[in-house]
Amino acid sequence: MKKFLLLALLSASTLFASNIEVKDSYIRATPPGLPNSAAFMTVKNNTDKTIAVLKATSDVSKVVELHTHSMKDGVMKMYQVPKIDVPANGITELKPGGFHVMLIGLHKPLKVGEEVTYTLEFSNGETITITAPIKTVMGGMMNKNMKKGMSCGSGKCGSGMKKDMSCGSGKCGSN
């Protein structure tokens, strides 16, 4: 009951905000030859009902899927999910090692400094198109199969902002 009242209050106070906000989005840079990337973002739900991300689309890759990661037998695996819930008056972070929008079959390498546009479709019928910068992404996201990526992800190469750049340009990740 308390929770309900709180939600009602929050809902009233955010009456003039958009129902859904997508913030701080970025796309993982890829060295040449790596066919997949991912988009990350914070999705904020300003309504008093759960809203789910149902679908993502982009023309940078052949396929776009909603993914998450989980640890199984000590190995981080990622798999497709049908939707990503964003709680009422809450946020869901899509970040390395967790939920992400998977870009599969890139038409070209994603270079730091460039941008990617993608669209999210939500369960309340809204769609939001986001243009996000391409950045080097640390850790978490790296698939165990991507050995080359791991040295990058573990921070050996890119533990500072500037050092990241060499990671993204493939100097670290492609050797």
Nearest distance, CB of residue 76 and Cu ion, angstroms: 11
Q: Are 164 and 59 in contact (CB under 8 A)?
A: no
Nearest distance, CB of residue 35 and Cu ion, angstroms: 12
Helix ranges restricted to H, the chain: 2-13, 147-153, 161-168
Of residues 6 through 65, those in contact with Cu ion by CB under 5 A are none
Q: Are 102 and 118 in contact (CB under 8 A)?
A: no
Q: Are 44 and 53 in contact (CB under 8 A)?
A: no
Burial category of 38 from C-beta neighbours within 10 Å (exposed 0-12, middle 13-18, buried 19 and up): buried
Alpha carbon distance 65, 81 (integer Å): 8
Q: What string marks each residue from 96 to 135 as x (binds Cu ion by CB under 5 A) or -?
A: ------x---------------------------------
Q: Are 109 and 31 in contact (CB under 8 A)?
A: yes
**67 is a site residue for Cu ion (CB under 5 A):** yes
Nearest distance, CB of residue 68 and Cu ion, angstroms: 8
Q: Which is nearer to Cu ion, 81 or 128 (CB)?
A: 81
Q: Which is nearer to Cu ion, 47 or 137 (CB)?
A: 137
Q: Are 87 and 158 in contact (CB under 8 A)?
A: no
Q: Which is nearer to Cu ion, 53 or 78 (CB)?
A: 78
Q: Which is nearer to Cu ion, 98 or 155 (CB)?
A: 98
**69 is a site residue for Cu ion (CB under 5 A):** no
Which chain residues interact with Cu ion by CB under 5 A? 67, 78, 102
